[in-house]
Chain A
Amino acid sequence: MTGNPYQSHDARILEVKDLTPREKLFTLRFIDPEINESFTFKPGQFVIVDVRGFGEFPISLCSSPTRKGYIQLCIRKVGRMTKFVHKMKEGDVVGIRGPYGNGFPMENMEGSNLILVAGGLGMAPLRSVLWYTLDTGKYEHVWLLYGTKAYEDILFRDEIIHLLKHGETMNCTVKMAYEIESPSCIYLERGFSERVCRGVVTDLFRGESFDIENSYALICGPPIMYRFVIRELLNRKLSPGRIYMTLERRMRCGVGKCGHCVVGTSVSMKYICRDGPVFTYWDALSTRGLI
């Protein structure tokens, strides 16, 4: 039925790829060719996946709107629903509704430097931004600072290693920090000694000078990461209005009705699903409970 915002559209799984022991990359295409053609989104937006008879869950889009005809979702096996989805195979059908949320203001940032800071699964929505910047070529320089636990946990490992090798030719600098040492990590570190190190994501800021006047920071990671990354950026005098973060909350409806993702106090209430999930640090300063 048209006009029902809770009604999802059928999408077929084209490909399932193991990224890590916990995460899989699902490539999907809407069965209705018209929807497949018209479906577009902004980096940072999310969709709600509908597994008929079992439930729904929200998930970030990790492909770029510049690449039409399919969407990609990076799904971590973490709960009942995602465990179920991990069992699905190529050819299976799920429902998709969305895209929801505001996304990153990519057009406003054209011509600037972008500092992408990702922690763990936070790489998924930022991959959408990364691809978008590389595909459009409308941005000055892009840094990707990526903090991960171990070599096995590196999401989109092939793409990251490719960018470590060839990123500079595309105006893109990739830096990576890992926490758990392993032979593969040491090998990587030896190969890219200036850009790969053992430590946390904030260590990657060391020795890097950004043109603060012309830069935006885009952050996504676990809740604990924001405080430290933001402190690093504020120390470099990056304006709170130029720091974008994408946040996670429980989202049931995606359209600002069910009330689970509401944050704030008596002076400012926000729905993460409708007003976010992308917020500036200024929003966080003026809305309690945001981060």
Chain B
Amino acid sequence: MRYVKLPSENFGEFFNFLQRLGPTYGPVKEGKTHHFREVKGVSEMDLNYTRTMLPPKKFFVRPRERLFRLENGWWKEEDGERPFVLFGVHACDIHGLKILDKVYLSDPVDPYYSKRRQNAFIVGISCMPDEYCFCKSLGTHFAMDGFDLFLHELPDGWLVRIGSVRGHEVAWENEKLFEEVTDEDLRHFKEFEEKRAKAFQKELPQEGLADMLDLAYNSPVWKKYAEKCLACGNCNMVCPTCRCYEVCDRWVDAYSSVRERRYDSCFMESHGIVAGGHNFRPTRLDRFRHRYYCKSYFDPSSGFNCVGCGRCDEFCPAKIEHVKVLEEVRGSLR
């Protein structure tokens, strides 16, 4: 890793340079929540945010996207992907993207996702947790890779970690904006990280979790929460690692049609239904449990399918808390 310092007074100029790379998306506050939106200047953004409603996955796996266009009976491929900058992404969301990478970039590579991934210039930013965050217990509170630049707040600027060749090139081109990191900066960086580590209020103990949950397959706790759950699918939409999609063909006019894919939710009854009407997850209990198992799946190579961002808790209309459900399920074994 290479470390440089970006003094506060150069921040605006640096941001202006990034905008030359392509449309820049950053966290913007609208009402009570934050969203990633296209921004034209630093002043539009609110960098002091905890989480956006939709995670940055929306730039890579679109809520609705066109795969092909059918004209006169032949498929034409959709094109028009351009480089873009994603500014102010938190560590948990970077980990979320890495989990999506594992799926979409494994053989066979999804060309749509892969193109966008290559086009994206990702600038991470440090954050302070709120009452919903539990990323620290999952080890996703700090990103070691998966970004081009990562900014850590200092009293008089930003400590910048350079995570890729492209990030290095950008820093190179703007050499005059950056300074060497001093011992004092390092002290501030360390202090900030220590303060942050203490600020977490929630944790999901990982020890033996995967096996415990598997053993608690018939636990009454699943049923209790499934009855509370509204099956609205909100948690799927806002989750940075949920990625189920549905494909549909749609006629645009009498001669042409498009093949689109859009987000799907495992809480919908249609998710597990096959031709002939047999449903492999017929009850809400089955679907509720399935989502928790999917998120808690432990992959030896990359850990859990959950990054602890707390979105599913914050945006759950039934106020179901992810960590609490898993803790109770584990507790029901005792």
Contacts and interface: CB of A to CB of B under 8 A. Distances in A.
A267 B276 CA distance: 31
A156 B67 CA distance: 38
A265 B213 contact: yes
A83 to B, nearest CB: 10
Interface stretch (A52-60, A62-70, A108-116, A158-166): A52-60
Interface in B274-302: 274-276, 278, 280, 290, 293-294, 296-298
A179 to B, nearest CB: 18
Q: Interface range on chain B: under 10, 10 to 19, 20 to 34, or 35 or more?
A: 35 or more
B101 interface: no
B246 A258 contact: yes
A23 interface: no
Nearest to A272: B280
A163 to B, nearest CB: 28
Given A5-B108, A266-B210, A257 B103 contact: yes
Contact of B245 (A5, A223, A258): A258
Given A53-B257, A266-B297, A267-B210, A5 B246 contact: no
B108 A259 contact: no
Contacts of A265: 213-214, 217, 293, 297
A266 B214 contact: yes
Interface stretch (A147-155, A191-199, A211-219, A245-253): A245-253
Given A4-B77, A250-B273, A257-B104, 4 more contacts: A6-B68, A257-B110, A265-B217, A267-B297
A7 B110 CA distance: 11
Residue from the set A52, A248, A250, A255 with the largest chain B CB neighbour count within 10 Å:
A250
Given A3-B111, A78-B276, A260-B264, A267 B249 contact: no
B161 interface: no
Contacts of A8: 75
Interface residues of A, number: 41
Nearest to B292: A266
B70 A53 contact: yes
The 9 lowest CB-CB distance pairs between A and B, nearest first, are A259-B244, A5-B108, A266-B210, A53-B257, A266-B296, A79-B275, A266-B213, A265-B293, A269-B297
Interface in A213-270: 223, 248-250, 252-253, 255-260, 262-267, 269
Interface string B65-109: 001101001110100000000000000000000000001101011
B152 interface: no
A56 B247 contact: yes
Contact of A53 (B108, B110, B251, B272): B251
Given A260-B264, A266-B296, A1 B77 contact: yes
B70 A52 contact: yes
Contacts of B111: 3-5
B136 interface: no
B292 to A, nearest CB: 8
Nearest to A255: B108
A206 to B, nearest CB: 29
29 contacts: A1-B77, A3-B109, A4-B77, A5-B111, A7-B68, A8-B75, A52-B70, A52-B74, A53-B251, A54-B249, A55-B247, A56-B247, A79-B275, A95-B75, A250-B273, A250-B274, A252-B246, A253-B245, A255-B108, A257-B103, A257-B245, A259-B245, A259-B264, A265-B293, A266-B210, A266-B211, A266-B298, A267-B210, A267-B298
